[in-house]
Chain A
């Protein structure tokens, strides 16, 4: 048969919808392919007429406890079970914590305690600031004092120089030098 058409794929249900349409169109006009298709359909019908036999003995397996994993092994190997157990444990812990009796709290006492701590911190901070300020002041005072001493020394030297100059001029005028 020279026709390029896959009749077997059509018969065994592997042809696409389009291929099925092509086969059906083709066999309408091609006697050879129509006869071939009839034979293939007969073959398939004969094959499927063969009924399945009943199995002589049912197959069943029994559990052997010696080889079965223990309950904790089964649980340990099961991710979802372990996850659920962890979540349940966590939920239980939260619940217990929530119902646990809270200790008696005196709000006034806590307020006083906080206030005294704040006051102590404020006093310490003020003292620290004052000490820093005093140290700065002393430093500036000392520097001023040193500057003043240096200025006095300079003034004294200048004064001595003028006195010497004045004395020289006086001697010169008395001796008539320069006349």
Chain B
């Protein structure tokens, strides 16, 4: 008997022919990543779970539209991005801005901060666009070009969002040590 690793493209090909079980294997490979991306983006566990199910259902329904199976990850996260932003727009009234971190709160005198709570809090203070740039780059490892495709915006915008986000996070998670002056 010969064992070989079944690749995503094999599963995609089978799922396209109506093999639900092949699609379930594909889901099991990606559900944790998609769920955590959505959880960090929308902030609510139940919402993230519901969105994850919607994302995988939409992906199954549109699997035949995926031109290149090698781009499945970017394509899946594009669906996730669209679903998440639909919810964020619905839940957040027009014009309401995300609270930007304040220097006084951000520095907090902790150096270095490794606490999970602190990281979550720092991410939560970012705007949705800035937070998403960090999630796609730092947690999902996408390249700038892939992020631009997922977010439907130029690479320059992606870079700008990520760099701004890193500056803001840096103020919280790695503040300048001023010898207790603050």
Contact = CB atoms under 8 A, between A and B. Distances in A.
Interface of A: 8, 11-14, 38-40, 42-63, 68-69, 74, 78
Contacts of A63: 20-21
Given A8-B166, A39-B174, A53 B39 contact: yes
Contact-residue bracket for chain B = 35 or more
Interface stretch (B66-74, B81-89, B114-122): B114-122
Majority SS of interface residues in chain A? loop
B73 to A, nearest CB: 16
A61 B169 contact: no
Given A12-B166, A47-B173, 9 more contacts: A12-B137, A39-B170, A39-B174, A42-B174, A43-B169, A47-B134, A49-B114, A52-B32, A60-B27
Given A8-B163, A53-B39, A59-B56, A46 B113 contact: yes
A78 B17 contact: yes
Interface of B: 17-18, 20-21, 23-24, 27-28, 31-33, 35-36, 39, 45, 49, 52-53, 56-57, 60, 112-114, 116, 118-120, 122-123, 134, 137-139, 141, 143-144, 162-163, 166, 169-170, 173-174, 176
Nearest to B15: A61
B112 A46 contact: yes
Contacts of B32: 52, 54-55
Nearest to A78: B17
Given A48-B138, A49-B119, A61-B27, A55 B173 contact: no
A69 to B, nearest CB: 6
Contacts of A78: 17
A48 B123 CA distance: 12
Given A8-B166, A46-B113, A52-B36, A61 B174 contact: no
A42 B171 CA distance: 11
Given A8-B162, A8-B166, A42-B173, A59 B31 contact: yes
